[in-house]
Amino acid sequence: MDSVESLEFAIQVDKLNSWYGDFQALFDVDLEVKKGSVTSLIGPSGCGKSTLLRSINRINERLGSYTRISGTIRILDHDILDESVDLSQLRKRVGMVFQRPNPLPLSIRDNVLFAHRIHGSSKNLSKREEERILEDSLRTVLLWDDVKDRLGRDARGLSLEAQQKLCIARLIPLKPSVILMDEPTSALDPKGTEALEQMIWTLAGEYTILIVTHNMAQARRASTESAFMLLGKLVEKQNTGDLFLNPIHQQTADYIEGRYG
């Protein structure tokens, strides 16, 4: 445990290449994400940022043998591309929030407790324990007061903002080391976006967050470090302030100034 505590980086991606069939989506991507930081991945559509994100919890492998990958990804110094890695265990430690809120077709309560139940080591968790976890998780995402009176309702009836918060809340019981977010606010209105960004800040420190965003203002507001990707390559990564004020590469400067993307 000590060694994990002393680690500087939560995610280390090394020489990652990725293909969809014959199409190469990632070229020798190197990326190190500091533990407890909020790091944003920016870049134009199709630059590979989602592919990179979806490789880190290996959800991209759902597409079958059509996808190939080479290189290494280490989460807290564990090689997660190793054959011995159990995907269920990996995804317990690396949570993901999707572009469109995707609550399961269950009640709010069952959504929050879903992951907790499937990973539960002891089969019969006490009711009281579950209720405590439920409240803690919903409080963490600032949703408790809104939904405490309707925990039994279908989660799909919530507003999109609340749904997305719920999708984050259901990761909390697992205490994941890393939370991956794939444009988590793109389906939300400006008010919902602001609320979600604030919430993301409250999670920083405790969780390492890697967030893909189209929205550069969001990257500026809501991240400590930013990485810019273009055409499957990672162009540069800096502190968010530096990346936006003094980009090293001309491509980054062009993108930030809105010349393409």
Partner 1 sequence: MNSDKKVLVCQDMDVRDSAWYWDKFFQILMLVSGVSAIFLIISIFFFITKEGFSFFFEPFSFREFFLSSVWRPTSLSNPSYGILALVIGTASVTGFAMLLAVPFSLCAAIFISEFASGRVREVLKVLVELLAAIPSVVWGFIGLSIMNPLIIDLFDVPVGLGILNSGIILGLMAAPIMTTIAEDALKAVPDHYREAAEALGATKWQVTFRVVLPAAKNGLVAAILLGIGRGFGETMAVLMTSGHSINLPTSPFDSVRALTATIAAELGETAVGSDHYRALFTLGILLFLVTFVINLTADIVVKGNKRH
**Could you tell me the smallest distance in angstroms from the CB atom of residue 235 to partner 1?**
28
Comparing CB distances to partner 1, the nearer of 34 and 93 is 93
Name which of 52 and 234 has its Cβ closer to partner 1: 52
The token pair at 182 is 């794939």
35 binds partner 1 (CB under 8 A): no
Task: Name which of 10 and 155 has its Cβ closer to partner 1.
Answer: 155
**Which one of 46, 82, 89, 198 is in contact with partner 1 (CB under 8 A)?**
89
Judged by beta carbon, residue 135 or residue 154, the one nearer partner 1 is 154
Distance from chain centroid for Cα 156: 21
At residue 169's C-alpha, the angle toward residues 116 and 100, to 5°, is 115
Choose the stretch contacting partner 1; rule: CB under 8 A; options: 13-21, 59-67, 217-225, 250-258: 59-67
Both tokens of residue 72? 């290494």
Of the listed pieces 115-123, 195-203, 241-249, 253-261, which binds partner 1 according to CB under 8 A?
A: 115-123
Is 217:189 a contact under the CB 8 Å cutoff? no
152 binding partner 1? (CB under 8 A): no
Strand partners, 14: 72
Ordered alpha helix ranges (H), the chain: 2-6, 49-56, 87-93, 108-119, 127-140, 144-147, 160-169, 190-203, 216-222, 240-245, 250-256
Minimum distance, C-beta of residue 249 to partner 1, in the bound complex (Å): 33
CB of 123 to partner 1, least distance (A): 14
97 or 196, CB closer to partner 1? 97
Question: Regarding beta strands 78-79 and 208-212, do their DSSP bridges make them parallel or antiparallel, or are they unpaired?
Answer: unpaired
According to the binding rule CB under 8 A, does residue 104 interact with partner 1?
yes
Does residue 57 belong to the site contacting partner 1 (CB under 8 A)? yes
Q: How far apart are CA 70 and CA 29, in angstroms?
A: 10
Residue whose token pair is 């199409």: 23
Residue placing its CB nearer to partner 1 in the complex, 35 or 170: 170
